[in-house]
């Protein structure tokens, strides 16, 4: 995302007095909102739903939804439906037989009867497995990418299927019930089948060893050669080749099955188009209408030039209250960094909060000019950064139940450099994380009372500013040297981690700069110090609580955080910039010199930008592999033990709000919003309403 994920936020939300930037834009949009009584406050909203395995399920509030005009609500409803109609594609992309597993679980849960003891330990373990599958949109952990298996017995699972209505099970034509049972039980219980969703170890054939359903019957060399032949290195406006299709081998030949109307996933895409065309009819303005029309055109054609046209139109739509991301966007799930996973985020603008982020975006050129990058890697004219805080209305596919907290798009580098980008902070998502948090993690992992107090008081706003700077300035900064290909071509499987590290370093470098205080978005540099305290402790200790003992770090954001923190720790040893302290058999990392740490962050930022600008694969490989992948076994074991005692699930995702149209004479006259509180029930309802694809595609 270019996107940023929240590791953990602990303290209560801090309100920042808004600055003056963005007042004109605010005035233009406020006319679209009806003046009605205030909605219920966030304090009355219950954010925490349940916890199971290593997961917490939360809820988020769409504040002031009731104030929106009927037209805007109708638009949101159509985009909401379009978002949910695409979720099957994410399941299938994550693994070829994910939909088969999901439909099996849905059939079992629909027919649990008196033959099954629902109070038994086996059934409780089965329910946890089912919820884990729904949470991760498949049988692999959403973060570690490892396959997880039920803790109930295989025989019990088989018995559940035996007592289910066989007409509801996804049994293939000509397949017997017993043959299906053996097949699906193997998929679910055999740890050697599809053991890793995304394999990033370059010592392996990353295509063959990944269960992700982007490639079939091909190996890594064949994929690389296939796409290299399609790329015109002289093209100054290249498409993101291979973004929207599955590469397979048929009759000995490589064939790309494009995700489009009439192609692969056509049944889901047809429904997405249906709802998008309804949205076009009630668009807020010509720019939004043009953007949605171009998105429909792209879904019909599957032509990536049409996708670029849509992205350009989307970037230009800066005045609309409503916004939507819908399509095959992020490439994190592809070991080669090429294929886009389906996702959708439907949102409305948060006016007051947007003033903070708009002030940052308005000064993008200053940040670029004063960055520590080599002069040839700085943009001379930063183009069209549109920045705002949004409130999510629904998230789907690769963005839900597990969500980013910030988004910066489009991803195509030449569009960003020529036409600009949009950066957003998902305000109500961040608020939900904040309100669901606690202080026990701070007490456990930070060394002194002074540091704990600083993190508790200043980190909530510092986190928001980090996200703002990461998305608005970080991803929009820097430029590639002439003749160098796109990062996913040059840096390959390390491109995502390096890009996230680059954006993080931009944020970290400026969070200790008086400029943010001058702009009125940060009260003092103490907030920057809190950000440094957090980043180093999370990167070197806390985040490893998410990793199974003995495993390496696989996820790009986690690789980035450890790489940045470990590199800074090593390079600062001479001056004791970051000190490793042992007390009562517990490890702490303490920042002793914030100014020197900022210099180190700037040095690493300069190097990662050089790597990206010059396409230096070897240097990128060395940074990630040497600093971002391996965990110290002793420290990892200690962290798991300390974190385990806190009884806090390290991962969180969301139940989505529900939009319901109010009809009169066959027309929508209003849309209401409700907030379901049962995760499994929502997942089963989605299966009935939006199960648009067959079990195997």
Domains annotated on the chain, with CATH = 3-16+264-644 (3.30.540.30), 96-139+150-189 (no CATH)
With b for 16 or more beta-carbon neighbours within 10 A and e for fewer, the 335-370 pattern comes to bbbbbbbbbbbbbbbbbebbbbbbbbbbbbeebbee
**pLDDT at 74 (0 to 100):** 98
Q: For the CA atoms of the chain, what is the radius of gyration?
A: 24
Identify the segments of the chain with pLDDT beneath 50: 1-2, 6-43
**pLDDT at 356 (0 to 100):** 86
**pLDDT at 476 (0 to 100):** 87
pLDDT tens-digit map of 74-126: 999 999 999 999 999 999 999 999 999 999 999 999 988 767 888 999 999 99
Are 312 and 65 in contact by the 8 Å Cβ rule? The answer is no
* Helix, strand and coil percent figures for the chain, each rounded to 5: 45, 15, 35
CA dist list (Å): 230 to 167, 227, 242, 342: 45, 5, 9, 23
Show Cβ contacts of residue 41 under 8 Å, excluding neighbours closer than 6 positions: none
Helices 526-540/495-510 angle, 10° precision:
150
The 8 Å CB, 24+ separation contacts for 629-636 are: 629/552, 629/553, 629/559, 629/562, 630/552, 630/553, 631/544, 631/547, 631/551, 631/552, 631/553, 631/562, 633/549, 633/550, 635/541, 635/544, 635/587, 636/544, 636/547, 636/549
With b for 16 or more beta-carbon neighbours within 10 A and e for fewer, the 536-572 pattern comes to bbbbbbbbbbbbeeeeebbbbbbbbbbbbbbbbbebb
* Helix (H), strand (E) at residue 395: strand 385-397
Pairing type for strands 586-591 and 215-216 reads unpaired
**pLDDT at 42 (0 to 100):** 40
**pLDDT at 454 (0 to 100):** 97
Show Cβ contacts of residue 60 under 8 Å, excluding neighbours closer than 6 positions: 47, 392, 428, 429, 431, 432, 654, 657
**pLDDT at 477 (0 to 100):** 93
Show Cβ contacts of residue 349 under 8 Å, excluding neighbours closer than 6 positions: 29, 321, 322, 323, 388, 389, 390, 391
**pLDDT at 4 (0 to 100):** 55
With b for 16 or more beta-carbon neighbours within 10 A and e for fewer, the 35-55 pattern comes to eeeeeeebeebebebeebebb
Q: Which of 303, 281, 301, 302 is nearest to 292 (CA)?
A: 281
Helix (H, G, I), strand (E, B) or coil at 237: coil
**pLDDT at 5 (0 to 100):** 53
């Amino acid at each position: 995302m270019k996107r940023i994920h929240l590791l953990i936020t602990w303290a209560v939300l801090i309100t920042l007095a808004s600055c003056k930037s963005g007042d004109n834009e605010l005035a233009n949009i406020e006319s679209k909102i009806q003046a009605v009584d205030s909605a219920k406050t966030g304090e009355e909203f219950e954010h925490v739903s349940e916890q199971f395995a290593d997961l917490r399920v939360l809820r988020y509030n769409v504040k002031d939804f009731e104030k929106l005009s009927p037209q805007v609500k109708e638009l949101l409803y159509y985009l909401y439906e379009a978002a949910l109609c695409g979720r099957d594609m994410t399941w299938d992309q994550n693994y070829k037989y994910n939909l088969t597993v999901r439909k099996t679980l849905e059939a079992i849960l629909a027919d649990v009867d008196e033959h099954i003891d629902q109070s038994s330990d086996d059934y409780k373990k089965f329910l946890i497995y089912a919820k884990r599958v729904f949470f991760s949109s498949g049988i692999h952990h959403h973060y570690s990418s490892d396959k997880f298996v039920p803790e109930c017995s295989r025989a019990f699972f088989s018995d559940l299927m035996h007592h289910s209505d066989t007409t509801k099970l996804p049994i293939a034509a000509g397949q017997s019930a017993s043959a299906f049972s053996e097949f699906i039980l193997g998929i679910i219980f055999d740890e050697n089948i599809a053991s890793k969703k995304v394999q990033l170890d370059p010592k392996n054939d990353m295509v063959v060893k990944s269960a992700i359903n982007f490639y079939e019957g091909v190996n890594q060399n064949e994929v690389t050669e296939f796409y290299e032949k399609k790329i015109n290195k002289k093209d100054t406006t290249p498409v993101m080749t291979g973004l929207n299709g599955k590469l397979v081998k048929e009759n000995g030949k490589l064939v790309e099955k494009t995700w489009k109307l009439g192609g692969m996933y056509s049944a889901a895409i047809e429904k997405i188009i249906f709802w998008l065309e309804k949205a076009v009819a009630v668009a807020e303005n010509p720019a939004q209408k043009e953007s949605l029309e171009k998105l429909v055109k792209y879904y019909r054609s599957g032509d990536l030039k049409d996708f670029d046209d849509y992205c350009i139109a989307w970037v230009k739509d800066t005045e609309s209250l409503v916004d939507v991301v819908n399509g095959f966007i992020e490439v994190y799930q592809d070991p080669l960094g090429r294929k886009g996973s389906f996702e959708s985020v439907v949102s409305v603008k948060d006016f007051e909060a947007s003033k903070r982020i708009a002030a940052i975006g308005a000064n993008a050129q200053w940040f670029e000019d004063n960055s520590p990058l080599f002069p040839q890697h700085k943009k001379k004219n930063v183009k069209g950064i549109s920045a705002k805080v949004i409130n999510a209305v629904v998230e789907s596919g690769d963005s839900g139940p597990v969500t980013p907290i910030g988004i910066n798009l489009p991803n195509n580098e030449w569009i960003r450099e020529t036409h600009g980008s949009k950066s957003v902070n998902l305000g109500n998502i961040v608020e939900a994380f904040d309100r669901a948090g606690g202080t026990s993690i701070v007490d456990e992992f930070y060394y002194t009372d002074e540091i704990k107090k600083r993190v508790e008081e200043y980190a909530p706003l510092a986190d928001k500013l980090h996200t703002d700077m990461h998305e608005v300035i970080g991803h929009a900064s820097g430029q590639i040297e002439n003749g160098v290909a796109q990062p996913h071509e040059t840096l390959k499987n390390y491109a995502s981690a390096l890009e996230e590290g680059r954006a993080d370093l931009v944020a970290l470098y400026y969070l200790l700069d008086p400029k943010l205080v001058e702009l009125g978005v940060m009260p003092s540099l103490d907030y920057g110090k809190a950000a440094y305290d957090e980043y180093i402790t999370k990167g070197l200790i806390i985040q490893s609580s998410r990793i199974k003992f003995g495993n390496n770090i696989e996820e790009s954001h986690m690789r980035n955080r450890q790489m940045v923190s470990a590199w800074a720790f090593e390079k600062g040893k001479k001056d004791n910039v970051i000190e490793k302290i042992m007390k009562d058999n517990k490890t702490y990392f303490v920042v002793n010199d914030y100014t020197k740490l900022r210099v180190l962050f700037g040095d690493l930022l300069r190097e990662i930008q050089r790597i990206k600008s010059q396409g230096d694969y070897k240097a990128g490989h060395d940074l990630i592999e040497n600093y971002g992948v391996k965990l110290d076994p002793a420290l990892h074991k200690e962290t798991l033990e300390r974190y385990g005692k806190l009884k806090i699930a390290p991962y969180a995702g969301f139940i989505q709000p529900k939009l319901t149209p109010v009809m009169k004479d066959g027309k929508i006259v209003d849309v209401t919003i409700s907030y379901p509180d049962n995760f499994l029930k929502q997942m089963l309802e989605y299966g009935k309403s939006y199960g648009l694809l067959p079990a195997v595609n």
